[in-house]
Structure 1
Amino acid sequence: MNETDKTKKVATPQQQASAVEMQAAGRGELSQEELDELVASSDTGARTPPGLVGKLILTVALCWSLFQLWIASPLPFMLDFAIISATDARAVHLAFALFLAFMAYPAERSPFQLGLGIGVPLILSGLFIYGAPGDMPAWWIGLIAAGLIAAILLGSPKNRVPLWEWLLALIAAAAALYVFYYSDELGRRVGAPLRQDLVVAVIGLMLLLEATRRSLGPALMIVATVFLVYTFLGPYMPSIIAHRGNSLTEVANHQWITTEGVFGIALGVSTSFVFLFVLFGALLDKAGAGNYFIQVAFSLMGHMRGGPAKAAVVSSAMTGLISGSSIANVVTTGTFTIPLMKKVGFSSEKAGAVEVASSVNGQIMPPVMGAAAFLMVEYVGIPYFDVVKHAFLPATISYIALVYIVHLEAMKAGMEGLPRSYTPPPILRRLLTGAFIIAGICALSLAVYYGMGWIRPAFGANSPYVVFALLTAAYVALLWVASREEPLQIDDPDAPVAALPLPGPTVRSGLHYILPVVVLVWALMVDRLSPGLSAFWATAYMIFILVTQRPLMVWLRGADRSGNTSTGRALRSGADDLVDGLISGARNMIGIGIATATAGIIVGAVSQTGVGSALADVVEVLSGGNLLAILALTAVLSLILGMGLPTTANYIVVSALLAPVIVTLGQQNGLIVPLIAVHLFVFYFGIMADVTPPVGLASFAAAAVSGGDPIRTGVVAFFYSLRTAALPFLFIFNTDLLLIDVGWVQGIFVFVTATIAMLLFAAATQGWFLVRNRIWESAALLLIAFTIFRPGFFWSYAYPPFEERPGSEFVQALEDSDPGEGLRLRISGLNDIGTPVEFAALLPVPAGETGEDRLAAAGIELIQDGDRTVIDNVAFDSPAQEAGLDWDQTILAVQAPVATPSSYWIYVPAFLLLGLLVWAQRRRAGPAETSQSGKDARHA
């Protein structure tokens, strides 16, 4: 196994705990052998037995990748062969994941895990017997549970697969394939399952939860079990969350037979999109791109203050672009970056915390976002391009702020960068060179964009072949450039660093790795293909590069990166890389496939029981209706629900439970938030659970690499991540940060000002700006940052943006407003369950000559009942219906926008205060104090 393979492994929670115990016993940083064992992956499975069984596991993983490539490609439709529907594909996808989960993951036998493995089947069997139809014997449910418990008690060796685990794997796969083989019959008897349907559903649910325990640890299994208990025992719950309860027939039908539960949207997204992106990342890493990204980051940033830490942030950002796991990011880049950070002066805890903060941030960075981007497309109902556009700015600002935090830490400790092996040119020459490079990239981008636009009409159906030929020409040219440089080697992080690699040769040695990413971005952003088809074409081109780069290097350089000088051997090595990449991509997907299926149980329980409305009531009672308290409680609940869950399952759970809470309670308290902002809010806080103690799986993984204390690492990482925690609150109230209804010029302005504000926020929370902050300076920095982020907050007190009028003046307010403006309406009515509520609605003003014309264009009919203005009817698919209006609601008040001076004028006093603060700190920034501050920080 090469070093790249080793670093792709990820520690399970149990392995992380054992590592912490070893560190607590005084062993400190783990050896390479211990680290290799520690990170036996929760992504790929820790068991590959020798002999035929091990080869079978690898073969099944290879077949899974080939199946996913087949259903994603246009070939089934071109050949009219083996066309598989989306629902059937989900069943096959889950069958592969379940089979490999039982074959590749030995069951943990700690007392807690063993108790959980026995207890959950007992609880589920009791629930299923309680809810079973009266004419059905209960013994068969007990028999299923007894068989599963017996298999767990018999043990799960790590070096072989015993007979009982073969049975579990085959039965679990068969339960999933049942939906595939009987899809037509199941479709004809929806809501009236047969006895065999119930048997299969019971077996499937029990084995899915056991597979979850093996591959993902206890957290998701416990959460899903709690929701199943709630589904059956609704009448016995506290009154605020009670419901009528559901029978086994209803649960089995909802969770396993239909697409509302296990086989729902989440598993569909995993099948259609996520697998291909994970496979694309695995192939890119197998080709050598992972090491290339790290080396480029170090060559460009290693010479700066705290350079290795800044390079760790940048390399983690590049890895996070294609990765679906924050813990995988930590281990992939951390085994190289953490030791180098320690060499330049970072403590073990701070080095691990920087890696954790940057790796977790990779999950909020488009285009993949830990697979959440594709789920948002389905849940929010907007195009993928819009999801990327809305998520890009906050993620970029967060990464810039993290680089600045690293810089501040380096300043505190008086650190220097790593030595360079060359003398940099003068600053003016570097600026000119940078300007020419940027101009060249822009010119090339325009040429490619308009060139592609010309190719399509000119060549028609043959244009894909022309585009492929042009890409291949660019690939060969870039490979020729790379052949002029020495091949990149995977450095030993424990070896002394004599000098940094040269930036130019390092960048030129792997430019061809950018081409598949270009194909992906082009297909997604320009051609606007579906994410699945875009990932397929990018993966197909990545396969072409993986197979051909070694023989082409032999032809161009005389040897490939492994030293092969024979074209035949290089071609075989390329084919081996391809097979290894396909297997690695499939094994990386086992946990994600299981996670999306298990999260589907939670989503199904939410839709079946209506717990979302009950949870909104709980949050409202606890918050007392205060808007900030509502958001804070939702953030805390997202953190709790996200503990121990992988990114994909994490987002599914928190969005299903908590996104409706913010929307509902926000409307009732006068805050109208776009749905994408709400989903990003809960997503940000869900992934923060990977950082925060006591769970903080990413912090445990980083501590195992650094030899530091995991709890302290998590605490430091949390403070580094405060900027990420602040952003969701800010874009809830200022949606300009998400580029919603923002043009290019304003978007650039928002980016610049928001970046300045986030840097000031980081300086305030780190207690250091130009020198160590005094208390009033940190408070002033926070005030300035908040003012820049939300210029309208203070401005609205001097110039209210809305004029409030009674509901009886609604028609007149429509006439007085300009078309396209939004009227805010305060509405009284009933919610979905018949409870009286008040809420806010935003109605765009339609075109029309008079107020009555605009009222009709909005789709509203009114009646006047004394002093009450009542909505008598709302037209179907009208602007009023989209705004949430309905018949028999009362319009209490209308808030019409009024002309006010630009809120950006508040920037003038804010920047004057910033100038005063800079002047005060520069007066103190003498050499003596700066030196003493560095000594103090090092002593601390």
Structure 2
Amino acid sequence: MIKNKEKNKSKTNSSVERKFYGKVAIYVTFLAVFTSLLHIWMNSMSLMIAIKRNAIHLGFMLSLTFLMYPASKKSPKDKPSVFDWILSIAGLSVGLYIFLTYDNLVERSLIPNRLDYIFSVLAIILILEAARRAVGIILPILSICFIIYAKFGYLFPGMFAHRGFSWARILTRMYLTDEGIFGVTLMVSASYVFMFILFGSFLNKSGTAKFFNDFALALAGRLRGGPAQVAVMASGLMGTISGSAQANVATTGSFTIPLMKEVGYEPKFAGAVEAAASTGGILMPPIMGAASFMMASFLGIPYIKVMYAGIIPALFYYFAIFIMVDFEAKKIGLRGMKADELPNLKSVLKKEGHLVIPIIVILILLIKGLTPLFAAFFGLIAVILTSSLRKSTRMNLKKFIEALEEGAKTAVSVAIACAVVGFIVGVVAMTGLGQVVALNIIKLSLGKLWLALLLVMIASIFLGMGLPATACYIITASIAAPALIRMGVKPLAAHFFAFYYGTLSAVVPPVALTSYTAAGIAGAKPIEVAVTGFKLAFAGIIIPFMFVYSPMLLMIDISLGKLILAIITGILGIICLGSAAENYFILKLNILERVFAFSAAILLVKPGSITDGIGLLLMIIFILCNVIRNKKYNKIAEGSN
């Protein structure tokens, strides 16, 4: 779903995705379509064991990666090189090898032979190279460091030292079992993630993205800031079906960014609004980012619980972006769009409203307790059937093939990230590194929860500077979340804390992949969009602290009265932090007002009558001061006139 030209600004890949022509294009399309159909069969009708399904998934994803992504900027952009074709075939072979020989390996009691070791080494090299091309250099380097740590642990100091493992043990663990490459991360990618990406592709081809844009424009176009608020709403709606920040930018940004520029927003701000808003799509139920499915697997809970837990944090995040955009619109004096520039809401619902039926089908099936795979499969069927209700949305054979192709291609980067992160997860399990880091976090935080949360937040943000959201969550959840759980944080809250900050990695400079994608559409400098986008998302940075201290915000142990109070104080805290970050309320804040606003936001996070009372008092003071100063300025302005 991400256009080639929109990836040009990305700094995480060694080069842009290829655009194919002629026979090569036909082959790649065939391979992608076959991959999607194969995954539909594996996840809906097959009784294949997980490791074999994961192996097939890896093989086809590797094969597509070496065809889609060139090795360097100097490589041809319209066709694969001979070396790429060799790697593509080799990538497919390392997946098929496990599929074809795993039963024999089990009969040998998982005792490898020479050929097993050869394919193990080949698989590791191919995955690292595929990750370098599709995800960026940081994750392969990090994975290599973890593999070195597994081998030479006895050379590390203090608590980090361990006896070390043989190369034979490492190769066996990483490739020949389901505790390394083919572990939970790739399992989730091969099943839930792929199916929901495919579901999003079908919805996109049926015109759902256009419906969301029209619907958001009809509802929010008249608000202050107009198209910017449309971008926030449209990205939130797209987030319900895509779970991909970059896909959101590509679909909604191509419409909203030009509109924002037309009404007066600077290109860098227009791109930043879309980047920050689209990032929240990873948090938005029912189809959240890939990491949410990982979370359900790590915690061993139904996905529906993760989905419920995501509702309030997602709404809080979009409210935070809405507030930041509104303050900016006030600051530069923007107004909403005129009525004759907006589509009619009734007309939009009449012509395209039926396109939400598949999303309702997904929701109903998940709420009834059916598996995400079951829901995704019937969601696909619902898209095909409901889109045919109107001629304008009906999917012909061409759109059907394009949806299958885009689904497989969009899944490539996620699958490769999940495969390479398997090295890290495997090493953490082998060495007990997670427990070591957990003990050190507890020690460094002096047993103070707020300090431990701050340390984990900083670690997550630093990881986000080099990793995609899914990889960032997996590493943080594997290493840092155990520390929070040991300190009494609910497991779901601890993992959601890591998930949330992993999500923000999409707008954390210098990588900020979502911001670079938006910059390509806005025609702005990528780093300026990234910095501005992170500033816009800053009001949401406080939200994870809220649900750690008030787990009811994640639908845990709900008490209605306390939940309502937590929501109210959360909203007020977001407003205060947004005002402090944007340095504006009714007019520009002075230093004291800004300090009061920031302090109020921090105090409103922690539940308790004292902290809430002081936070509310500081909020009232800073608002009153700002209002009084505004009245004085107005009187002076009237007097001068």
Q: TM-score range by the shorter chain?
A: over 0.9
> Would you say the 8 A contact 1:10–1:328 is kept in 2?
no
- 2:528 maps to 1:687: no
Instruction: Work out the CA distance in 2 between the residues paired with 1:327 and 1:650.
Output: 16
> Would you say the 8 A contact 1:326–1:647 is kept in 2?
no
Deviation of the 1:928 alpha carbon: 5.2
> Would you say the 8 A contact 1:8–1:332 is kept in 2?
no
- 2:365 maps to 1:543: no
The match for 1:277 is 196
Instruction: Work out the CA distance in 2 between the residues paired with 1:279 and 1:920.
Output: 52
The match for 2:108 is 189
> Secondary structure at 2:608's aligned position in 1?
helix
The match for 1:611 is 433
Instruction: Work out the CA distance in 2 between the residues paired with 1:931 and 1:185.
Output: 87
The match for 2:513 is 697
- 2:60 maps to 1:96: yes
Instruction: Work out the CA distance in 2 between the residues paired with 1:579 and 1:106.
Output: 24
> Would you say the 8 A contact 1:16–1:704 is kept in 2?
no
- 2:242 maps to 1:323: yes
Deviation of the 1:414 alpha carbon: 1.3
The match for 2:540 is 724
> Would you say the 8 A contact 2:320–2:537 is kept in 1?
no
> Quick one: which of 247, 256, 266 aligns to 2:185?
266
> Secondary structure at 1:359's aligned position in 2?
helix
Instruction: Work out the CA distance in 2 between the residues paired with 1:911 and 1:781.
Output: 10
CA offset digits 1:622-664 (Å, max 9, x no partner): 5455543332222222122233433222222221122123333
Residues 159-558 of structure 1 aligned to structure 2 (within 5 Å): 159-421=78-340, 499-525=341-367, 527-546=368-387, 548-549=388-389, 552-553=390-391
Give the AA of the match of 2:258: P
Instruction: Work out the CA distance in 1 between the residues paired with 2:192 and 2:8.
Output: 25
- 2:49 maps to 1:85: yes
Residues 693-842 of structure 1 aligned to structure 2 (within 5 Å): 693-744=509-560, 746-792=562-608, 794=610
Instruction: Work out the CA distance in 2 between the residues paired with 1:932 and 1:274.
Output: 58
Instruction: Work out the CA distance in 1 between the residues paired with 2:130 and 2:105.
Output: 25
> Would you say the 8 A contact 1:363–1:369 is kept in 2?
yes
> Would you say the 8 A contact 2:549–2:605 is kept in 1?
no
TM-score (norm 2): 0.93
The match for 1:669 is none
> Would you say the 8 A contact 1:737–1:754 is kept in 2?
no
> Would you say the 8 A contact 2:292–2:306 is kept in 1?
yes
Deviation of the 1:749 alpha carbon: 4.5
Give the AA of the match of 1:46: R
> Secondary structure at 1:321's aligned position in 2?
helix
Instruction: Work out the CA distance in 2 between the residues paired with 1:291 and 1:756.
Output: 33
Deviation of the 1:531 alpha carbon: 0.8
> Would you say the 8 A contact 2:435–2:479 is kept in 1?
no
Give the AA of the match of 1:54: A
> Secondary structure at 1:159's aligned position in 2?
coil
Instruction: Work out the CA distance in 2 between the residues paired with 1:772 and 1:72.
Output: 55
Deviation of the 1:196 alpha carbon: 1.5
Instruction: Work out the CA distance in 2 between the residues paired with 1:712 and 1:405.
Output: 17
The match for 1:583 is 405
Instruction: Work out the CA distance in 2 between the residues paired with 1:684 and 1:639.
Output: 10
> Secondary structure at 2:241's aligned position in 1?
coil
> Quick one: which of 18, 21, 31 aligns to 1:60?
31
Deviation of the 1:6 alpha carbon: 7.0
Greater strand proportion: 1
Deviation of the 1:87 alpha carbon: 2.0
Moved over 6 A (4+): 15-18, 930-933
Give the AA of the match of 1:508: K
The match for 1:493 is none
- Summarize the Cα distance change of 1:323–1:401 in structure 2 as closer, same or farther, 3 Å threshold: same
CA offset digits 1:151-173 (Å, max 9, x no partner): xxxxx432223433222211221
- Summarize the Cα distance change of 1:332–1:929 in structure 2 as closer, same or farther, 3 Å threshold: farther
- Summarize the Cα distance change of 1:577–1:245 in structure 2 as closer, same or farther, 3 Å threshold: same
> Secondary structure at 1:510's aligned position in 2?
helix
Deviation of the 1:316 alpha carbon: 1.0
Residues 112-127 of structure 1 aligned to structure 2 (within 5 Å): none
CA offset digits 1:8-54 (Å, max 9, x no partner): 87516656899xxxxxxxxxxxxxxxxxxx9x5xxxx4242421x32
Deviation of the 1:713 alpha carbon: 2.5
- Summarize the Cα distance change of 1:742–1:930 in structure 2 as closer, same or farther, 3 Å threshold: farther
The match for 1:924 is 629
CA offset digits 1:110-137 (Å, max 9, x no partner): 6xxxxxxxxxxxxxxxxxxxxxxxxxxx
Give the AA of the match of 2:20: T
TM-score (norm 1): 0.64
Instruction: Work out the CA distance in 1 between the residues paired with 2:72 and 2:629.
Output: 58
> Secondary structure at 2:289's aligned position in 1?
helix
- Summarize the Cα distance change of 1:16–1:352 in structure 2 as closer, same or farther, 3 Å threshold: farther
Deviation of the 1:70 alpha carbon: 1.5
For structure 1, the residue ranges without an aligned partner over 5 or more in a row are 19-37, 77-81, 111-155, 422-498, 554-559, 562-569, 667-671, 796-905, 934-940
Identity of aligned residues (%): 34
CA offset digits 1:720-773 (Å, max 9, x no partner): 222221111232222232221014565444334422332233223322223333
- Summarize the Cα distance change of 1:370–1:622 in structure 2 as closer, same or farther, 3 Å threshold: same
The match for 1:640 is 462
The match for 1:11 is 7
- 2:419 maps to 1:597: yes
Deviation of the 1:242 alpha carbon: 1.8
Instruction: Work out the CA distance in 1 between the residues paired with 2:12 and 2:370.
Output: 41
> Would you say the 8 A contact 1:254–1:604 is kept in 2?
yes
CA offset digits 1:330-380 (Å, max 9, x no partner): 233222222221222222222222122111121122222211221111111
Deviation of the 1:932 alpha carbon: 7.7
> Secondary structure at 2:520's aligned position in 1?
helix
> Secondary structure at 1:322's aligned position in 2?
helix
For structure 2, the residue ranges without an aligned partner over 5 or more in a row are none
> Would you say the 8 A contact 2:267–2:522 is kept in 1?
yes
Cα RMSD for the two superposed structures: 2.7
Instruction: Work out the CA distance in 1 between the residues paired with 2:119 and 2:315.
Output: 47
Instruction: Work out the CA distance in 1 between the residues paired with 2:2 and 2:42.
Output: 31
Residues 892-931 of structure 1 aligned to structure 2 (within 5 Å): 907=613, 911=616, 914-915=619-620, 917-926=622-631, 929=634
> Would you say the 8 A contact 1:325–1:647 is kept in 2?
no
- 2:72 maps to 1:108: yes
- Summarize the Cα distance change of 1:6–1:67 in structure 2 as closer, same or farther, 3 Å threshold: closer
Instruction: Work out the CA distance in 2 between the residues paired with 1:193 and 1:675.
Output: 37
Deviation of the 1:243 alpha carbon: 1.5
The match for 1:50 is 22
Instruction: Work out the CA distance in 2 between the residues paired with 1:83 and 1:362.
Output: 32
Instruction: Work out the CA distance in 1 between the residues paired with 2:155 and 2:600.
Output: 51
Give the AA of the match of 2:160: I
Deviation of the 1:688 alpha carbon: 2.2
Deviation of the 1:276 alpha carbon: 0.8
- Summarize the Cα distance change of 1:232–1:349 in structure 2 as closer, same or farther, 3 Å threshold: same
- Summarize the Cα distance change of 1:911–1:794 in structure 2 as closer, same or farther, 3 Å threshold: closer
